[in-house]
């Protein structure tokens, strides 16, 4: 009890000292970040409290300005009917718009300085600060926090997090959106290797999805590759302590890349590549981005988190806010359940996506591999949307399978394809007509109590997600499945379209959704058969939404037909 009293007294003293340093006088009250994630994800175990003198790295998201102007700017540069279409903002122009007020910058920096924070690093937009401090200093600075070391995930990852919510001094609450490095655990990969289907005969059949199968299905010829004469590029981001190996990429292209021109290696790695075994997900991302977007310079953002207290996804967002010249297309196979994230965090990350859209970046996220998802509260079942898939400022990619798994046939729904309706974001204006039509015409909708019909609906598009061949750790691995596969394929195809646009003097596509919905999915194969999975109960019996003509919350507008999609998107 004495120790608790002493600790509380030290916290109160730190608060008073910080406020006195800032304002000379002040009342020490606290304002918490709302709805902080506090439940321990399955598979994670606490190893106990962290040594008070151990070093931490925490990221402070500073309150931005002029956010009410961002949605209109994004719409203006992303809508083909707008006179500002394609006239994207530079990073410096975005920084000028959203940069925190001088009062916010001064207040937060003085507060951190008074608390003993060291080596604080900002970004060009000045809306993030990453600082180092001891566990003792962090627990004094953020009242209520208590840092533990955890281990979990397939790779037995070690992270430092606080199981308890933190509170900010009231004088700081209006200047800080959230503090990163406390609560969010790395999500585990949902990529799966399925059993090989059994075929009665083998004549004329393929034995899994390879680059040549992708290129045949989506009508890419040997000439549909990057020209090598532009500054076009593409990128994928890796967050789950997953790494690719150059030797795997070389072996993959040796086995499967013989019939199209391609680049032999990744052009640029941003971040640190681990020295351990390659991850299947990382290998898949790189191999299929570089074979769909063939012969186009490729970047890999490797974000393992240089410190146990860092959040790799957050570090990637910081990189986007600190680089003026970036690839136009970024793909990411990453997601969390919406309900596991604080409202402050999810809204701020959505703002970061708006900043990227204003700059003309195309961000593609996997829709997830749990269908409509499912969770139960007070005995009541509901579908469980995923984020960032549910953000209205990213293009979300669902998954399909061949109708016959051994032949290049029409596509049907891959039952794992994530999709549904956000419980956080309202329906995006650009999709109002398409979603209303689906809800009014679908012959079999789940009960309305399972989903928020007025929410942002996703996915927007889809591609094959079932039965891929991947080379990882020099071993060819068959029948790998997940929207982690469909996302880099769609991203690579958009990079090829950007190549044509750049050669024709056009800007890159930028945020695709307004144009995609205006054109009613022109250039895409409509997927009209199949349903995805959901809650295993008597009411819905494991079935979520079903696909149909036009847009649907399982496969979006459909899968790419390259020549038609190029014709649709090359002008203006």
Residues belonging to the binding site are 526-527, 550, 552
Selecting among 177, 281, 369, 466, the annotated active-site residue is 281
| Gyration radius (Cα) of the chain, Å | 24
In the three-class reduction of DSSP (H, G, I as helix; E, B as strand; rest coil), residue 554 is classed as: coil
Pairing of strands 297-302, 233-238: parallel
The terminus-to-terminus CA distance of the chain in angstroms comes to: 70
Tell me if 435 sits within 8 A of 420, measured CB to CB: no
CA–CA gap between residue 545 and residue 439 (Å, rounded): 11
List the one residue out of 509, 409, 499, 508 whose CA is nearest residue 461: 509
Q: Which of 422, 481, 484, 486 is catalytic?
A: 484
Catalytic residue among 248, 285, 338, 460: 285
Closest CA to 516 of 556, 456, 464: 556
Measured from the Cβ of residue 429, the count of other Cβ atoms closer than 10 Å reads 12
Active-site residue, 367 included: no
Q: Counting beta carbons within 10 angstroms of the beta carbon of residue 47, is it exposed (0 to 12), middle (13 to 18) or buried (19 or more)? A: exposed
Label each residue of 423-443 as H, E or C.
Answer: EEEECCHHHHHHHHHHHHHCC
Let me know if 285 is a catalytic residue. Answer: yes
Backbone phi and psi for residue 426, each to the nearest 5 degrees, phi listed first: -70, 165
Quote the CA–CA distance of 361 and 377 in Å, as a whole number. 38
Angle of helix 343-358 versus helix 312-320 axis, rounded to 10: 30
Cross-strand bridge partners of residue 169: 30
Distances (CA, A) of 571 to 353, 461, 504, 506, 566: 24, 20, 9, 8, 9
CA distances from 374 to 153, 186, 234, 397, 556 (A): 21, 20, 34, 20, 20
Catalytic residue check, 460 = no
Distance CA 423, CA 109 (A): 35
The total of other beta-carbon atoms located within 10 Å of residue 79's CB is: 16
Cα→Cα distances 452→247, 423, 483, 508, Å: 46, 6, 23, 34
Q: Before 64, cis peptide (omega within 30)?
A: no
Dist CA 303 CA 284 (whole Å): 16
Residues known to be catalytic: 281, 285, 484
């Amino acid at each position: 009890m004495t120790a608790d009293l002493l600790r509380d007294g030290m916290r109160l003293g730190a608060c008073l000292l910080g406020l006195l340093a800032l304002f000379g006088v002040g009342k020490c009250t606290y304002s918490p970040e709302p709805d902080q994630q506090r439940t321990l994800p399955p598979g994670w175990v606490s190893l106990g409290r962290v040594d008070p003198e151990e070093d931490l790295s925490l990221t402070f998201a500073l309150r931005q300005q002029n956010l009410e102007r961002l949605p209109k700017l994004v719409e203006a540069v992303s809508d083909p009917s707008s006179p500002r279409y394609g006239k994207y903002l530079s990073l410096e122009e975005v920084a000028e718009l959203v940069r925190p007020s001088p009062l916010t910058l001064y207040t937060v920096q003085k507060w951190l300085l008074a608390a003993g924070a060291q080596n604080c690093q900002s970004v060009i937009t000045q809306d993030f600060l990453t600082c180092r401090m001891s566990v003792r200093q962090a627990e004094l600075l953020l009242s209520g926090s208590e840092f533990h070391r955890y281990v979990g995930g397939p790779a037995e990852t070690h992270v430092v997090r606080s199981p308890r919510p933190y509170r900010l001094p009231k004088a700081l609450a209006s200047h800080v959106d959230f503090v990163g490095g406390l609560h969010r655990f790395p999500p585990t990969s949902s990529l799966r290797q399925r059993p090989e289907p059994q075929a009665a005969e083998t004549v004329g059949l393929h034995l899994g999805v390879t680059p040549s199968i992708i290129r045949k299905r989506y009508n890419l010829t040997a000439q549909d590759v990057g020209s090598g004469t532009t500054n076009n590029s593409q990128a994928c981001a890796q967050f789950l302590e997953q790494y690719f190996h150059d030797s795997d990429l070389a072996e993959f292209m040796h086995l499967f890349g013989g019939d199209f021109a391609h680049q032999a290696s990744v052009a640029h790695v941003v971040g640190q590549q681990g020295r351990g075994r390659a991850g299947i997900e990382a290998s898949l991302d790189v191999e299929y981005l570089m074979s769909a977007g063939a012969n186009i310079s490729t970047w890999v953002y490797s974000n393992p988190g240089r410190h146990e207290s860092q959040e790799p996804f957050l570090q990637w967002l910081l990189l986007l806010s600190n680089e003026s010249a970036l690839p136009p297309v970024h793909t990411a196979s990453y997601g969390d359940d919406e309900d596991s994230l604080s409202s402050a965090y999810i809204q701020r990350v959505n703002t970061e996506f708006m900043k990227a859209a204003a700059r003309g970046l195309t961000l593609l996220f996997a829709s997830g591999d749990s269908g409509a998802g499912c969770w139960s509260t007070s005995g009541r079942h509901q579908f469980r949307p995923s984020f960032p898939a549910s953000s209205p400022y990213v293009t979300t990619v669902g998954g399909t399978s061949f109708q016959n798994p051994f032949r290049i046939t029409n596509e049907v729904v891959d039952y794992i394809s994530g999709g549904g309706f956000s419980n956080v974001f309202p329906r995006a204006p650009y999709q109002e007509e398409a979603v209303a039509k689906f809800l009014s015409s679908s012959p079999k909708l789940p009960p309305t109590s399972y989903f928020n019909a007025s929410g942002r609906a996703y996915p927007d598009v889809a591609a094959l997600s079932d039965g891929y061949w991947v080379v990882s750790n020099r071993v060819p691995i068959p029948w790998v499945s997940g929207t982690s596969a469909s996302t880099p394929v769609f991203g690579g195809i958009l990079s090829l379209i950007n190549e044509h646009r750049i050669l024709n003097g056009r800007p890159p596509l930028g945020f695709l959704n307004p144009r995609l919905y205006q054109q009613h999915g022109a250039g895409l194969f409509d997927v009209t058969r199949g349903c995805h999975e959901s809650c295993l109960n008597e009411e819905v019996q494991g079935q979520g939404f079903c696909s149909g003509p036009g847009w649907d919350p399982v496969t979006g507008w459909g899968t790419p037909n390259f020549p038609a999609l190029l014709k649709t998107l090359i002008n203006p």
